[in-house]
Structure 1
Amino acid sequence: MKRFLATAVSMTILLLSISACSNSSTVADSTSTTAKANTETSTQNDETTATTASESDSASTTESGSDASEYPLSGGTLTYWVSLNSNVAANYSSLADTPYAKEYEALTGVHIEYQHPASGQENEQFNLMMASAEYPDIIDWNWLTYSGGPQKAIDDGVILSLNDVMAENAPNLTTYLQANPDIDKMVKTDEGNYYVFPFIREQDNMCASFGPQIRADWLEDLGLETPKTVADLENVLIAFKEQKGATAPYSYEYSVNNANDPIMFGFGTSKNFQINSDGKVEFGSTTEAYKAYLETMNKWYQEGLLDADIASVDGSQLDSKITSGLTGFTVGWIGSGMGKWNQAGVQNDANFQLEALNYVTEDGSQSEYSYMENRYGGGGSAAITTACKDVELAAKYLDFGYSEAGYLANNYGTEGESYTVENGTPTYTDQILKNADGWPIAQAMGAYIRACYNGQFIQSYGYQEQYFQTQAQKDAPTIWTDTNEKAHLLPPITPTSDESAELATIMNDINTYRDEATLNFIIGNESLADFDQYVETINSMGIDRAIEIETAALERYQNR
């Protein structure tokens, strides 16, 4: 084990010092509510992406800045408020009951009293906690969604600035951030204050876990080439309809994922704020590219290529359409989408095979836009509150997650139970991959590790290399990251308190209007001849002021 860790650390110094960050303006509107942002983070982290087997964990642990002999610490108790992930809640009423928590207490020497908000009420209970000013020692939350941003949370006396705390008590995280200045910038406020112990994805290609998927077996059966252009894809959808009997050739869960339609990206825009080719912030939904996207979607809807039920199709209906052969092209997650659909689809068709598709574009070139997440997206990050009576203990406890032992505990669990080391690589045991109680892999992982959702550590890409069970799943991240998305992404900027309030007022109305108009354009309830009027309406609602706010926040971020 020691030889494995030593090798891993030396390799990581090279890998992590050159790694880059990415953030997505396409995941959700930049003015999403706290509840939406935290819910999306919680669900999306179940799908964080893996790389190829050649980039295994033996080259991917954290840079340690501490003396491992410091742990376990001499003891103590901390209170810790955190949402209970669904993969844990399926079998445990509290994180405290899991093998993970027991192992972590043994390793750190710190007893944690977990406080879990009721499922589905996280936002309400967070707001009640803020109003009461009665805080636990540690709060795990997406502090980017705090009204006014994390600096406002510091100024409001809710959480501590961690600059001195980290310098004195967090050598592991400090060393990592020094080696990764791009991420270091992300976890500071505009004023230069560290505010959380963050959840960080280890590599760029762990940031694309959602994307376009196509029936590869149908392409082969029909003698069709893999589509590269929008026109190619249209011809494929026609063939699926006419020769495979697909009544909804292209379908997806529009009500949930309408911001991530891969066809939109193919025309050179996202739906939300983005950085254009001139380096300026713009609102994607008012561009000519967005109009071209709407024209194509309307055409496909009228021709029966886009699901006639697109406005209302839900997850279970989509599952049925895909696995029964009514749909041949969709967009979804790697695990809970592709993995689930392929497993169920072969029950109806032994040749069923969904595979990831490169984002199609108008001319077949590399897509400028795609769905990607940020290596640091804000969720799963822990702040120390002003109520904490032992800040040193809290900081050392949280910093453990960025140590070698913390990396293994969070990503792989307990050696000999949930993983063994084979040829220098942590490898999950049958307790995880073939659970004797019949638990799904994600639930078995939830008992032993936090890598299957989030927490205060660096998520290993090797975790999902083993979580994804098929080659199609393993290939998806490489396919979906073959874009220029990072050039257009806004980093995790933080408008001021006043700006946040103004931005929310403007964008709540604009986003509602935009979403209603978009659907009406697609299904033909509104003519695309009225697109210019649609743009004028959004302009009259204050989009220019919203862009000014986003631009100012971006400039402050760049000056951090």
Structure 2
Amino acid sequence: MKKLYYLSGVIASLALVAGCNGQTTQSSGPSLEEVGFNPGQLPLVQTQVEYEIISPKNAMAKNYNDMELFQQMETDTNIKINWENMSEESFATRKNLILSDKKNLPDAMYNALFSDKEIIQYSSSGLIIALDEYLDYMPNFKRILEEREDIKNMITAPDGHIYALPRVEEMGLVEYPNLFYINKNWLDQLGLEVPTTIEELEYVLAQFKENDMNGNGDTTDEIPLSFKFQGWQGNQSDLYSAFGMPMNTDHKIVIDNEVVFTAMTDEFKEATAFYHEWIENGLIDKEIFTQDDFTFLSKGKGKDQILGAFYWWELETVVSNPEDYVIVPPLVGPNGDQMIGVANNYEISKGLFVVFNNCKNPEILLSWIDRFYEPEISAQVNYGPIGIVYEEERDAEGLLVQKPLPEGKTSDEVRLSNAPMGVIYLSDDEWENVVNMEPRAQLRLSNLEIYAKPYVPEGVEQYPNVTYTLEEINDINRYVSDVYDYVWQKQTNWLLNGGVEEEWEAYISKLKDMGVDKLVETYQTAYERYIGK
């Protein structure tokens, strides 16, 4: 396997460890000199050092102790990581228990997904250490902070320290989680053109419903339109946006630097009333409210085609006959609007890696994790190792290129079994100069340039991944569950049973009683601080 390379600078080692909150504690165990710490060189230590790290992992992934990537990193650095993996579901339920058992803490937590509140809570108690105290041992991360003030601002806690490492994967994909696909073969059978308006789509869906489009003799198994209601991808947002307000599933979007709670707008009301009729008439799959990914995806993989149209991330994931479908641009709504919103899915994720206060010689561990921000290693952490996922030789442009998929394997299967994902830095520069995007990402990006990005109105942007103060966190927690639960309850009821017009004023009044204005005000305050207003 091709050796992983580390390219960055050096600094003399220190005997004292600077702890969080300005405290300084003496390291126990062997000193940096005794283990032969060589920051900026390989191996990082002359005498092997071991650390314990807890991390959730995808069900398809190998145990991290068995991953070729980590085995190679151990060979290169002479640092052995003893991984304790658990399922993502188990981690979500056990995380607080792990953090409360202070006598048995690991050295660090990977893919930790610490929230702003957890960072404030556990940094204030001294449980996690301030990583910015060790930047001289982290040349790659230090360079990122110097070059990207936006990232620095996003991950800096209210006390001015950085306690957790981020993940950065900038491809321009996740803000646009929907593309609309329609069965062109069925359109051709009916002699119909690809619809361009909501009105035309309504007629098409009615024809899909009333005819035996798949020719199996059953006129009731066709599903005119399906998606996942409130899913992170393939959701209802673009259908709603056709009514003149850019929507996302958070009902929270920024328009001309003002935070708008879209679930209180007239456009939301009109769209809800309109699509109730579609659901009532069988044009929209009633299972949109309950189906999980597996149920939805199975609808496109059967012997007979049953999906007339759907929203999803990519076509091939859903149907076994992608050649029969085409992508449809955003539809023109009843008032002549053709637009989409921007999802609050972030290319920069916070809280991915934290180090606990019991970690001995954190300089060494942080030098090890800093290598994850090297472009070649970031690519392998995100997709899989050179020699397994990537070719040993670079392409004519000098970029890493992925190997052909093994027969019978999908991209997801190969990636998830070989890549831990988590801490990486892949920005525009890396995509241009170090690594090729995987082919399906390149295809999706080109599709978004045609079918999504041109339809985001000027002045519209996602709500950024801001850092909240403790007071803001408390305000949000005071209101957010009641507000969003109520919106979900009313929206689903209105879509299924109607009545939005009759109940609208009472709905708005109830939201105000629940504190929605204070919630939006808090979002606005944090946003203005983020943009430096």
Compared CA separation, residues 204 and 242, structure 1 to 2 (3 A):
same
Deviation at 1:456, TM superposition (A): 3.6
Q: Secondary structure at the match of 2:109?
A: strand
Q: Secondary structure at the match of 2:366?
A: helix
Q: Deviations over 1:141-200 (max 9, x none)?
A: 455525x2533332232322222212x111112212322222232222244322222111
| Aligned residue runs from structure 1 range 526-537, under 5 A | 526-537=499-510
User: Do residues 407 (structure 1) and 382 (structure 2) align?
Assistant: no
> Does structure 1 retain, via aligned residues, the 8 Å contact 2:276–2:498?
no
Partner of 1:369: 341
Compared CA separation, residues 464 and 330, structure 1 to 2 (3 A):
farther
| Aligned residue runs from structure 1 range 69-468, under 5 A | 70-74=41-45, 75-88=48-61, 92=62, 94-133=63-102, 134-141=104-111, 143=113, 145-146=115-116, 148=117, 150-166=119-135, 168-205=136-173, 207-219=175-187, 222=190, 224-242=192-210, 244=213, 247-254=222-229, 256=231, 260-267=236-243, 268=245, 269-323=247-301, 324-334=304-314, 338-342=315-319, 344-345=320-321, 351-353=323-325, 355-362=326-333, 367-371=339-343, 373-378=345-350, 381-411=352-382, 413-420=384-391, 421-423=394-396, 424-430=398-404, 433-434=405-406, 438-450=408-420, 453-458=421-426, 465-466=437-438, 468=440
Amino acid in structure 2 at the alignment position of 1:396: S
**For residues 413 and 256 of structure 1, what CA distance do their matches in structure 2 show?**
27
Amino acid in structure 1 at the alignment position of 2:406: K
**For residues 364 and 327 of structure 2, what CA distance do their matches in structure 1 show?**
45
**For residues 273 and 153 of structure 1, what CA distance do their matches in structure 2 show?**
30
> Does structure 2 retain, via aligned residues, the 8 Å contact 1:406–1:457?
no
Deviation at 1:212, TM superposition (A): 3.0
TM score, norm. by length of structure 1: 0.75
Q: Deviations over 1:462-503 (max 9, x none)?
A: 97843529x965644433344438833211123333432342
Q: Runs of 5+ in structure 1 lacking a partner?
A: 10-66
**For residues 473 and 263 of structure 1, what CA distance do their matches in structure 2 show?**
20
Query: How many aligned positions are there?
Result: 475
TM score, norm. by length of structure 2: 0.78
Deviation at 1:223, TM superposition (A): 5.2
> Does structure 2 retain, via aligned residues, the 8 Å contact 1:273–1:281?
no
Deviation at 1:425, TM superposition (A): 2.8
**For residues 415 and 173 of structure 2, what CA distance do their matches in structure 1 show?**
21
Q: Deviations over 1:202-226 (max 9, x none)?
A: 3334654544333244445555444
Deviation at 1:360, TM superposition (A): 2.8
> Does structure 2 retain, via aligned residues, the 8 Å contact 1:108–1:400?
no
Q: Deviations over 1:242-282 (max 9, x none)?
A: 45367431112337459653212333133435344352223
Q: Secondary structure at the match of 1:419?
A: coil
> Does structure 1 retain, via aligned residues, the 8 Å contact 2:169–2:426?
yes
Compared CA separation, residues 72 and 408, structure 1 to 2 (3 A):
farther
Compared CA separation, residues 220 and 422, structure 1 to 2 (3 A):
farther
Q: Secondary structure at the match of 1:189?
A: coil
Q: Deviations over 1:36-59 (max 9, x none)?
A: xxxxxxxxxxxxxxxxxxxxxxxx
Compared CA separation, residues 206 and 386, structure 1 to 2 (3 A):
same
Deviation at 1:69, TM superposition (A): 6.3
> Does structure 2 retain, via aligned residues, the 8 Å contact 1:241–1:249?
yes
Compared CA separation, residues 517 and 321, structure 1 to 2 (3 A):
same
Q: Secondary structure at the match of 1:429?
A: coil
Compared CA separation, residues 254 and 276, structure 1 to 2 (3 A):
closer
**For residues 340 and 295 of structure 2, what CA distance do their matches in structure 1 show?**
31
Amino acid in structure 1 at the alignment position of 2:318: W
Q: Secondary structure at the match of 2:284?
A: coil
**For residues 311 and 411 of structure 1, what CA distance do their matches in structure 2 show?**
32
Deviation at 1:317, TM superposition (A): 4.0
Deviation at 1:294, TM superposition (A): 0.3
Q: Secondary structure at the match of 2:86?
A: coil
Q: Deviations over 1:2-58 (max 9, x none)?
A: 9xx9xxx9xxxxxxxxxxxxxxxxxxxxxxxxxxxxxxxxxxxxxxxxxxxxxxxxx
Compared CA separation, residues 368 and 418, structure 1 to 2 (3 A):
closer
Q: Secondary structure at the match of 1:422?
A: coil
Compared CA separation, residues 143 and 497, structure 1 to 2 (3 A):
farther
**For residues 185 and 146 of structure 2, what CA distance do their matches in structure 1 show?**
48
> Does structure 2 retain, via aligned residues, the 8 Å contact 1:215–1:352?
yes
Deviation at 1:128, TM superposition (A): 0.5
Compared CA separation, residues 429 and 375, structure 1 to 2 (3 A):
same
Deviation at 1:457, TM superposition (A): 3.8
Compared CA separation, residues 294 and 211, structure 1 to 2 (3 A):
same
Deviation at 1:399, TM superposition (A): 0.9
Partner of 1:55: none
Amino acid in structure 2 at the alignment position of 1:400: R
**For residues 455 and 285 of structure 2, what CA distance do their matches in structure 1 show?**
27
Q: Deviations over 1:120-156 (max 9, x none)?
A: 121221110122234322212455525x253333223
> Does structure 2 retain, via aligned residues, the 8 Å contact 1:172–1:402?
yes
**For residues 289 and 508 of structure 2, what CA distance do their matches in structure 1 show?**
22
Percent of aligned pairs with the same amino acid: 20
> Does structure 2 retain, via aligned residues, the 8 Å contact 1:149–1:496?
no
Off by >6 Å, runs of 4+ in structure 1 = none
Answer 1 or 2: higher relative contact order, Cα 8 Å, separation at least 6: 1
Going by fraction, where is strand more abundant, 1 or 2? 2
